[in-house]
Amino acid sequence: MPETATDPAAQSANPAPVPEQPVVPPIPKKAPSRFKEQRKELQKFFASLNHLGMGRQRMLFIQSVAMMLTAGLSLVDALQTQLLEAKSKAVRGLIQGIISAVESGSPLWKAMDDQSLFSPYEIALVRIGEEGGNLARNMQYLAEQQEKDRALKQKVKMAMIYPAIVIVLVFILVMGLGLFVLPNLVQVLYSLHVDLPLATRIVIVLSQLFEAHGAVMVPLLFLALIIVLLMGKYTRFRVVSQWVVFHTPGIGSLAREATIAQFGVILGGLLRAGVPLVEALSSLAEVTHIIAYRNFYQKLLEHVNAGDSFSKSFAALPECNHLLPVSVQQLIVTGERSGALADVLMKIAEMYDKKASETAEKLPVILEPLLLIIIAGIVAGIAFAIIVPIYKVVGNIGR
């Protein structure tokens, strides 16, 4: 039989039946769980413990590398020079790790980020400098900002010496009264056979506790103080500690001015280096340790990411007027409209850095009345608790 020619049109019109495949729904991508994020943060925290006390070395590293890059040295030669000058074993290990990563082809910002020592702001500036071919300029700018921050911190430390000495002396005074003076006075108060006021009864209970458990209570008080300080820095309790700091006369004004100065330095520096606004706001939120400001920056980032201007974003955030003065908001809005936002932010940083320096110099004068009130309250409370029962006895004798 002759072969029948196959008609392509007929084949296309009557295709062979294809067995139905079961429809498999796409597997949704799981967002990173809160547990994984916390574990990542915990790993970074333990990695940063290896570099405790290296803040000064970090600043010197950036300043020295910036100076050598500006002088024309290559990056590897600058790092090798830093390695030769390093005296500490920890610093040599840090620089050697960066050198090994750079020689293996890793960019400098990635090598620095892997060391868990440098802040996201520093990493972002180095990254933009490398990608834009302005590494020396960006590191020089970063070194200058670090020097300003160091000078401000030094002023704050010098201003806090007097309040710290007074607080320590008051603590020693209270401990001495509780361990040596009050136990003897308790016997006298009991021998008066009069109704003791509440303040006297509280002093008696405290003196009995010190007398019975003084050797244990004093170390426990020191341990509790250390635990509270650590909780205020590394746990959610820092919300409470930061609230106390920002509402303390003098210290609150200094903390607010320093935070606004940091806002202008970081955001303005990143924008000046060519970082997009959304990425700059994200880096600002990452590097900010004040919870109230970090939450505010994250909300501001959401509005800006949605296409809102700064003017509209500020109006939509009710906490904005509490965190940023109205004058600062108006300057930012004006800078955004004129296209000079980076320069305006740097002017804000310079202005509030000067304000913070002036507040730091005046801090002892501001805190002195507060400390005197606290000391007077403690002394008056103890005196009232001791004198009132004696006064009652004298009054009964007179009658």
| pLDDT tens figures, 106-157 | 888 888 888 878 877 788 788 888 887 888 888 888 888 788 778 777 877 7
How many separate domains does the chain show? 2
Tally of helices (H runs) and strands (E runs) in the chain: 18, 0
The answer to whether the beta carbons of residues 295 and 274 sit under 8 Å apart is no
In 3D space, the residue among 290, 244, 288, 261 whose CA is nearest the CA of residue 359 turns out to be 261
17 lies in some domain: no
pLDDT value at residue 43: 54
365 lies in some domain: yes
pLDDT value at residue 50: 56
Check whether residue 291 and residue 243 sit in a common domain: yes
Check whether residue 105 and residue 187 sit in a common domain: no
Q: Indicate the SS3 state at residue 299.
A: helix
2 lies in some domain: no
Q: Where is pLDDT greater, at 317 or 199?
A: 317
Check whether residue 87 and residue 232 sit in a common domain: no
Phi, psi of 8, rounded to the nearest 5 degrees:
-60, -35
Q: How many Cα atoms occupy the beta-carbon half-sphere of 182 within 13 Å?
A: 26
335, two tokens: 């800078």
344 lies in some domain: yes
Which residues contact residue 47 at a Cβ distance below 8 angstroms, ignoring those fewer than 6 apart? 116
pLDDT value at residue 51: 55
Q: Which of 99, 118, 137 is the last residue of a domain?
A: 118
* pLDDT tops 60 at residue 42: no
Q: What share of the chain is helix, strand, coil (3-state, %, to 5)?
A: 80, 0, 20
129 lies in some domain: no
Check whether residue 394 and residue 299 sit in a common domain: yes
Give per-residue burial for 331-355: e unless 16+ CB within 10 Å, then b. Answer: bbbebeeeeebbebbbebbebbbeb
Confidence of residue 397 (pLDDT cuts 50, 70, 90): low
Share of the chain above pLDDT 70, in %: 80
pLDDT value at residue 299: 93
| Amino acid in the structure at residue 229 | L
pLDDT value at residue 396: 62
Check whether residue 55 and residue 97 sit in a common domain: yes
1 lies in some domain: no
164 lies in some domain: yes
31 lies in some domain: no
Q: Which of 96, 118, 140 is the last residue of a domain?
A: 118
How far apart, in whole angstroms, are the C-alpha atoms of residue 263 and residue 238? 20
pLDDT value at residue 5: 44
Residue 259 Ramachandran class (φ > 0 left, ψ -120 to 50 alpha, else beta): alpha
Check whether residue 66 and residue 189 sit in a common domain: no
Check whether residue 71 and residue 172 sit in a common domain: no
How far apart, in whole angstroms, are the C-alpha atoms of residue 65 and residue 126? 11
Check whether residue 96 and residue 222 sit in a common domain: no
In 3D space, the residue among 346, 349, 367, 347 whose CA is nearest the CA of residue 357 turns out to be 349
Check whether residue 168 and residue 305 sit in a common domain: yes
* pLDDT tops 70 at residue 395: no
Check whether residue 86 and residue 173 sit in a common domain: no
Check whether residue 80 and residue 223 sit in a common domain: no
Check whether residue 307 and residue 367 sit in a common domain: yes
Supply the mean pLDDT for the chain: 78
Q: What is the residue range of 105's domain?
A: 48-118
Confidence of residue 376 (pLDDT cuts 50, 70, 90): confident
Q: Which of 118, 140, 157 is the last residue of a domain?
A: 118
How far apart, in whole angstroms, are the C-alpha atoms of residue 33 and residue 13? 52
The 8-class DSSP code of residue 180 comes to I
What's the CA angle centered on 143, arms 141 and 144, to 5 degrees? Answer: 65
